[in-house]
Amino acid sequence: MSVSLRALGPDEPRPDTSSEWDDWGPLPDQPAVPDVGRLLVEDDGVVVGEVTWHAVWYGPSPGSRAFNIGIGLMAAARGRGIGTHAQRLLAEHLFATTDVHRVEASTDVANTAERRSLEKAGFRAEGVLRGAQARADGRHDLVSYALLRGDLPTSRAT
């Protein structure tokens, strides 16, 4: 396995990463948001999914900005450790290219595969966000995870 991340080409379609965890129901058109990004996940040169990030703020100062990340993998790529590698690569990329101190992620409390993946990638569980996410079938609790710049070895976090 050789997991890497790359930008989506201008006419390249996004991979179908749909799963039971992302039935959102109808979504309105949303304006572009600053500090948002997306990279494709490749395994041995084959696109198998995508990772995304967006800024979240915990106060008005620039040092209070963090990134919340997400991942979607094609069904055939799940359960092989690719998600763990891709999420760690994305966190390392964000620490290397920005000044954020915190990269965070959340997942449904019942999504044990993603919870294991985040933990293997070095993220630490911080708590449950009750009723935080609305999906087509109702409100869902999420587990919040974070990786801090200081959690990575110095040579990779700078």
For residue 70, tell me if it sits in a domain.
yes
For residue 123, tell me if it sits in a domain.
yes
pLDDT of residue 23: 64
For residue 90, tell me if it sits in a domain.
yes
pLDDT of residue 30: 52
For residue 145, tell me if it sits in a domain.
yes
For residue 71, tell me if it sits in a domain.
yes
pTM for this model (two decimals):
0.81
For residue 103, tell me if it sits in a domain.
yes
Number of domains comprising the chain: 1
For residue 3, tell me if it sits in a domain.
no
Q: Is 39 helix (H, G, I), strand (E, B) or coil?
A: strand
For residue 26, tell me if it sits in a domain.
no
Counting as low any pLDDT under 70, the low residues of the chain are 21-34, 154-158
